[in-house]
Amino acid sequence: MNSLILLKYGEIILKGLNRPLFEDKLIANLKSAGGDDISKIWKAQAAIYVEPREGADEEELALRLSRVFGIVSAAVAYIAEKNLESICALAKELMKDAEGKTFKVESKRADKKFPHTSQELSALVGEAVFENFDHLSVDLKNPDILLTVEIRDFAAYIYLNKIQGVGGMPTGTNGRATLLLSGGIDSPVAGYVIAKRGVLINAVHFYSYPYTSERAKDKVLELARILAGYCGRLEVNIVPFTDIQLEINQKCPPEQMTIIMRRIMMYIANKIAKKHGSSALITGESVGQVASQTIESLFVTDDAAEYPVFRPLIGMDKEEIVTVARRIGTFETSILPYEDCCTVFTPRHPVTKPRLEKILESEKFLDVEALIKQALDNTETIILTRSGN
């Protein structure tokens, strides 16, 4: 049976004159995700066709491509001639191996010259399948097997088991931003949500060796690798933070420790964002989750940022965030029990309503410029890619 992978994209169809730019970017990103497993890729009639390399695992490739931002569905589609007889013969052939007791046929006609309407075609193919298999019955609401027939330019395409894609916009079509990536549950989700909109992200992670272990750093790199599975590539800047924390601990009031630390994270993120060409910072904060995420604290933190701070989780409950973390595959890694730099010097009674003037007063006890410079001079940059590292 002749087959190829049929990909559909969503939102970029709405783009007017710019649409080809978005499509071309999407195709470039798919090529990079598919690598050698793709032998040919082209677009036609608001779909992308992929011819896999001979011997490639088509199902695996379809799954990989369905995770490229911009793709709403992927399917291994089998090809029939554009006439009822060939279509019914192929449908029956495919249904032989399909698991389930109930089925439904759905048809789409990109070629309106085809002699049957979509509804007629579904009914005719459904009938042919039904007559051929004793164990199958039709269920239009909740079928075990959905068989789709698409009549397109040069052929009819038939597939079972459409894979739902991640959606969003192609990476690289919506500017750049820098993610503050911790080892927790929230920031990987925040990065995913913004990256999904086509924003090219890089990441910065602050670590407090030896107060936090090598394994805590490995955990962050593993989270970055999972994110790279969607964005293709993720640069992570690992910034040593211990000296800064020790200095704050020594020179500033203990209850202000966390908020001052957060501001210094912003100062350093500003520099990394600038180097990356970013126009925004991203954090995983959500209103009221902890003392440093009260509205007053966020206000004081923002004052240190030179870019707009995107907080896509700001109004979400933990449970909602966890649901996304599970879906995108970061949750299991995020809950590994290694400590984060923020937990090392957490004051017992942090201020929950910091006043900016007071915090700025305390910050004067620090040589902020020197601390930033030293941290940046010792920053390690690691690049994670979709295919591993």
Binding stretches for ligand ATP (CB under 6 A): 180-182, 184-187, 204-206, 283-285, 289-290, 292-293, 340-342
Our CB check for ligand ATP shows the closer of 49 and 211 to be: 211
> Among all residues, whose Cβ is closest to ligand ATP?
184
Specify the DSSP element, H or E, that contains 215.
helix 214-231
User: Least separation, in Å, of the C-beta of 181 and ligand ATP?
Assistant: 5
29: nearest Cα among 55, 59, 66, 79:
66
Our CB check for ligand ATP shows the closer of 157 and 206 to be: 206
| Residue 350, binding choice from Mg ion, ligand ATP, none, Cβ under 5 to 8 Å by partner class | none
> What are the φ and ψ backbone dihedral angles of 362, each rounded to 5 degrees?
-65, -35
| Residue 173, binding choice from ligand ATP, Mg ion, none, Cβ under 5 to 8 Å by partner class | none
Which two structure tokens, joined as six digits, stand for 348? 């017992």
Contact map string, positions 130 to 169, toward Mg ion, x by CB under 5 A: ----------------------------------------
With beta carbons less than 8 A apart as the criterion, state whether 62 and 163 touch: yes
| Residue 292, binding choice from Mg ion, ligand ATP, none, Cβ under 5 to 8 Å by partner class | ligand ATP
| Residue 312, binding choice from ligand ATP, Mg ion, none, Cβ under 5 to 8 Å by partner class | none
Stretch that binds Mg ion, among 10-18, 48-56, 175-183, 286-294 (CB under 5 A): 175-183
User: Least separation, in Å, of the C-beta of 205 and ligand ATP?
Assistant: 4
| Residue 7, binding choice from ligand ATP, Mg ion, none, Cβ under 5 to 8 Å by partner class | none
| Residue 289, binding choice from Mg ion, ligand ATP, none, Cβ under 5 to 8 Å by partner class | ligand ATP
User: Least separation, in Å, of the C-beta of 192 and ligand ATP?
Assistant: 12
- The yes or no reply on residue 285 touching Mg ion (CB under 5 A) is no
Distance, CA of 211 to CA of 41 (rounded, Å): 49
DSSP of 324-345, one letter per residue?
A: HHHHHT-HHHHTS----HHHHT
With beta carbons less than 8 A apart as the criterion, state whether 165 and 66 touch: yes
User: Least separation, in Å, of the C-beta of 89 and ligand ATP?
Assistant: 54
Where does the chain show beta strands of DSSP type E? 3-9, 38-44, 47-52, 71-80, 102-109, 137-138, 145-151, 156-160, 163-164, 176-180, 200-207, 233-240, 281-282, 309-310, 380-385
Burial class (CB in 10 A: 0-12, 13-18, 19+), 149: buried
One-letter amino acid at 118 equals: S
Total residues at interface with Mg ion (CB under 5 A)? 3
With beta carbons less than 8 A apart as the criterion, state whether 362 and 258 touch: no
- The yes or no reply on residue 340 touching Mg ion (CB under 5 A) is yes
With beta carbons less than 8 A apart as the criterion, state whether 249 and 88 touch: no
Our CB check for ligand ATP shows the closer of 49 and 209 to be: 209
- The yes or no reply on residue 182 touching Mg ion (CB under 5 A) is yes
User: Least separation, in Å, of the C-beta of 312 and ligand ATP?
Assistant: 11
Our CB check for ligand ATP shows the closer of 127 and 303 to be: 303
Stretch that binds Mg ion, among 44-52, 109-117, 211-219, 335-343 (CB under 5 A): 335-343
Which two structure tokens, joined as six digits, stand for 283? 């954090």
Q: Which residues pair with 236 in a beta bridge?
A: 203, 382
Distance, CA of 107 to CA of 151 (rounded, Å): 8
- The yes or no reply on residue 184 touching Mg ion (CB under 5 A) is yes
| Residue 185, binding choice from Mg ion, ligand ATP, none, Cβ under 5 to 8 Å by partner class | ligand ATP
- The binding site for Mg ion (CB under 5 A) comprises 182, 184, 340
